[in-house]
Amino acid sequence: MSQILQDVQALYEKNRRTVFGHQYTIPSPELYPFQWLWDSCFHAITLSHFDLAAAKKELRSAFSRPMPNGLLPHIIYWEYEVSQNNWGREMRGDVINKAWGVQGTSAITQPPIMAYALWRVYQLDGDKEFAEEQYKVLETYFSYLENGRTFNGDSIAYIINPDESGEDNSPRFDLAQSLPPIHDAPENLDRRIERMRENATCMFNAKECMSKYFGVADVSFNVLYAQDLDYMSKLAAEFGYTTESNTFTQRAHKVREDMKSQMKNGCVFFSYDHLLREPIRVYTWNIFMPLYGGLLEKDEAQQLVDEYYLNKDMFYTPHLLPTTAKTEPSYDPDGGFWRGPIWIGANYFIYHGLKRYGFDDLAQELKAHSIRLLQQSGFREQYHPETGEGQGAHDFTWGGLVIDME
Ligand code: GLC
């Protein structure tokens, strides 16, 4: 592991940027030259193992540009602050940049692991001033999710764009966007850009947008949401906010209960499409997220592992773990984005889920696979589940999460 640790440190130094006092890590120099929200949380968790000061700066920067409604944007284009003249310059992000309808940031969010990352950092030095300041930003964000992203008195939060799941092109969102199982990346991006435009048309009123265009209750987003509400509760208790702490705990409980009653089908949780009014019965790595969130009984977890995880026709491929099951018509291991290839971020959550339920050997195996992928193919965005070959962005930071598989 120590060689990996050294490699992670070197990569994080290479990808570190400082703009007007904001220090953050870019996910990949060539493809992702901005600051991303859940990436920064991954970075803070990884950095907390060897550079706590940088971990704190990363979070402070990631939480520094909330929209007026409290939403934390999933991308901050710090370059925009450096030179406003650069607005509209030619880079991949520019396409996305212009379409959001706001300047300097995106107008959508990403799965909430912010409170968890903050809690982890806070545990290391007990810096209350820093943690309470960030907690306040997150409190507004979570109020927004509760009020702006739920329907009919339920607690489950809905996403308005596939990118908010963190898995932009996942086949879970094909049907909602009238995409066939096999299509190319530009076609997929076109649809998601339509979602961005709609959001601006709706004046960023997500409920209106989700009722007209796209609204999905996604499993992993909500697993993480419930977890984060628990971490908000722990943080609130630290600062003496007893009422808020209790309320966060109740909200976490309610999200889990609503998920169980609305998404659960045997041992499998399916995401739900608000407009089509039906569950999204697509088998992706998301079915293992309820292990991470503790949403299954022990016998259900066993069934999930036996029938799906260890199933060679679905997820138990030579390299672990494919993001989309081999049985899906959308399975595309040769470069499909979130459509088969392995992502270390997904492995990270599954590793901790397996451990939570006592599947220690499988967790160790998954960790070993993750490290082997890094050793064999370097720090890449994704990996071929059958050959282990690296795909997508180079010098991609998520591999650092193997350090936190312990
Ligand atoms: C891709 C991923 C997303 C990530 C971003 C930056 O868009 O799907 O989860 O945040 O890259 O790494």
Pocket test for ligand 1, best of 39, 46, 108 (most atoms within 8 A of CB): 39
pLDDT (0 to 100) of residue 97:
54
CA 44–ligand 1 middle distance (angstroms): 16
pLDDT (0 to 100) of residue 92:
44
pLDDT (0 to 100) of residue 286:
98
Interval 129-157 mean pLDDT: 97
Interval 378-403 mean pLDDT: 98
How far apart, in whole angstroms, are the C-alpha atoms of residue 194 and residue 325? 27
Q: Token digits for 176?
A: 């909602």
Burial class from Cβ neighbours inside 10 Å (0-12, 13-18, 19+) for residue 341 reads buried
Element containing residue 18 per DSSP (H, E): strand 16-19
Type of residue found at 95: V
Of 176, 208, 39, give the one whose Cα is nearest residue 111.
39
Nearest residue CA, atom 9 of ligand 1?
A: 166
Pocket test for ligand 1, best of 168, 324, 343 (most atoms within 8 A of CB): 168
Nearest residue CA, atom 8 of ligand 1?
A: 167
pLDDT (0 to 100) of residue 93:
46
pLDDT (0 to 100) of residue 255:
98
Pocket test for ligand 1, best of 25, 36, 379 (most atoms within 8 A of CB): 36
pLDDT (0 to 100) of residue 82:
55
Nearest residue CA, atom 11 of ligand 1?
A: 32
pLDDT digits (tens, 9 = 90+) for 261-299: 999 999 999 999 999 999 999 999 999 999 999 999 999
Percent of residues, the chain, with pLDDT higher than 70: 95
pLDDT (0 to 100) of residue 86:
42
Q: Which residues contact 247 (CB under 8 A, 6 or more apart)?
A: none
pLDDT category, 80, cuts 50, 70, 90? low
Of 237, 239, 260, give the one whose Cα is nearest residue 249.
237
Cα radius of gyration (the chain) = 20
Ligand 1: list residues with CB < 6 Å: 27, 32, 36, 38-39, 166-168
E-only strand ranges, 249-350:
264-265, 268-269, 271-273, 278-280
pLDDT (0 to 100) of residue 104:
85
Residue 256 has pLDDT above 70, yes or no: yes
How far apart, in whole angstroms, are the C-alpha atoms of residue 227 and residue 378? 31
Higher-confidence position of 93 and 405:
405
pLDDT digits (tens, 9 = 90+) for 220-252: 999 999 999 999 999 999 999 999 999 999 999
Burial class from Cβ neighbours inside 10 Å (0-12, 13-18, 19+) for residue 306 reads exposed
Interval 358-370 mean pLDDT: 98
Q: How many CB atoms lie within 10 A of CB 253?
A: 14
Residue 178 has pLDDT above 80, yes or no: yes
Q: Token digits for 332?
A: 């595309």
> DSSP labels for 261-316?
HHHEETTEE-EEETTTTEEE---BGGGGHHHHTT-S-HHHHHHHIIIIIT-TTTT-
Q: Token digits for 315?
A: 């997820």
pLDDT (0 to 100) of residue 99:
63
Global pTM reads 0.96
Alpha helices in 19-161 (DSSP H): 37-47, 52-62, 78-82, 92-99, 114-125, 128-148
Query: In Å, how far are 104, 110, 115, 162, 324 from 197, measured between CA atoms?
Result: 16, 18, 29, 14, 28
Type of residue found at 405: M
* For the CA of 396, the nearest atom of ligand 1: 12
Interval 147-172 mean pLDDT: 96
Residue 152 has pLDDT above 90, yes or no: no
Element containing residue 383 per DSSP (H, E): strand 382-383
pLDDT (0 to 100) of residue 77:
87
pLDDT digits (tens, 9 = 90+) for 81-126: 554 444 334 444 444 455 687 888 999 999 999 999 999 999 999 9
Residue 305 has pLDDT above 50, yes or no: yes
User: Mean pLDDT across the chain, nearest whole number?
Assistant: 94
Q: Token digits for 297?
A: 């009984």
Q: Residue 75 in 3-state DSSP?
A: strand
Are 177 and 162 a contacting pair, CB within 8 Å?
Answer: yes
pLDDT category, 1, cuts 50, 70, 90? low
- Report the helix count and the strand count for the chain, using DSSP H and E: 15, 11
How far apart, in whole angstroms, are the C-alpha atoms of residue 166 and residue 198? 19
User: Strand 22-25 to strand 216-217: parallel, antiparallel, or no bridges (unpaired)?
Assistant: unpaired
Residue 159 has pLDDT above 80, yes or no: yes
